[in-house]
Amino acid sequence: MLGMDEVYGTCTDRFAEVRSAFQENFRVAGEVGAAVAVSVDGVVAVDLWGGWTDAARTRPWQRDTLVNVWSTTKGVTALVAHLLVEAGRLDLDAPVAHYWPEFAAAGKEKVLVRHLLSHRSGLCGLRDPLTVEDLYDRESTTRRLAAAEPWWEPGSRSGYHALTYGFLVGEVIRRVTGLSTGRWLADHVTGPRGIDFAIGLPAAQDHRVAELLPLPTEAGTPVEQPPPGALHPAAMAALANPLVGPSEANSAAWRRADLPAANGHGTARAVAALYGMLAGGPGGLSGESVERVREGQGACTDLVLGPVVGPGTECGLGCWLSGDRGWYGPNPRAFGHDGLGGSFGLADPEAGIGVGYVMNGMGTRLVDDFRKRALVDAVYASL
């Protein structure tokens, strides 16, 4: 039987602290199965994995194990959008309705593409009930979003678009290219570069997917909840309409769906490669595009996540900025995205790094999981 802290893969001597932190997460943080990777100027310096892919702990995590990374997917979807900008096919300052005419309904004619990428469109969720099955019907859900009235004045502040981000940005991508986000990504990025990441997973890959599991809450540590009455009405529409978790994400329907906000499946090595492209690494975005990705859209108390993350958070165009809180390390201009339960991708153009962490034991924090903090600190201690 594998030891609790037995990990596999490669790690250069320079990043020995990352290996130690990764092992420690198994010893003290209840890690079930996970992987972490660090790319430096496009070269893999860390590629580690360990633990189990199932609740019964009978199937060891392998080098090519895939897992749903939830909202870490959003940074990958943003990469697609910025590559289309570079190609001259998408203008972030154009009205969304320029590409998607039906979207102009209900006073949304002045909503810009940049508002979608920065969670500022006011469409964090729908007012009418939305089922999990509705998420699998792209045409119906995008039609409802096009007809919907914003919850607040678009462009004025952020309100995290937990699931609608993928339908909104994804529909613009589809109108521009004729392809889903996942299809365009596969054809133009992951396929040609051999990056093991998919939005909309083929059934033939199911045998490689780790089972998502709720991580047992630490003794004396309550599940994170916002204070009573603290939620903006839009927050419930964003976070609980519909409510999704491990049981939904473990289903075949979820894996096949076109959900560019939340159902990317990949390895840590793939996440590091894609966020390395966001950081301007080899084959990635140009320097001008990197600056565009991390162009702050205004710090504020997010209308959806505010009660949990507090005031002063700031979105760029597709990712969250590290800022003074150091969400993505000590460089305030680094950026990245967390996924529900603990996964994350990190891009630091100044350090030339992309970092990916994926796991199947889902923690209770909405953002900035304690396992993430340990790994980020170890990465920067190694630089």
Give the closest residue to 256 by CA, choosing from 187, 181, 210, 203: 203
Distances (CA, A) of 147 to 32, 128, 260: 43, 12, 20
What 231-235 contacts at long range (C-beta under 8 Å, 24+ apart), as own/partner pairs, is 231/307, 232/151, 232/159, 232/303, 232/304, 232/306, 233/151, 234/122, 234/124, 234/125, 234/151, 234/152, 234/159, 234/303, 234/304, 235/124, 235/159, 235/303, 235/304, 235/305, 235/307
SS3 158: coil
20 part of the active site = no
Instruction: Burial-class residue 192 by CB neighbours within 10 Å (0-12, 13-18, 19+).
Output: exposed
Contact 6, 17 (CB under 8 A): no
Cis peptide, bond prior to residue 242, ω within 30 of zero: yes
- The string of DSSP letters for 31-48 reads --EEEEEEEETTEEEEEE
Q: Which two tokens stand for residue 204?
A: 């033939």
CA distance 84 to 99: 13
- Of the listed 20, 39, 71, 180, which one is catalytic? 71
Helix, strand, or coil here: 110?
coil
> Catalytic residues, which ones?
71
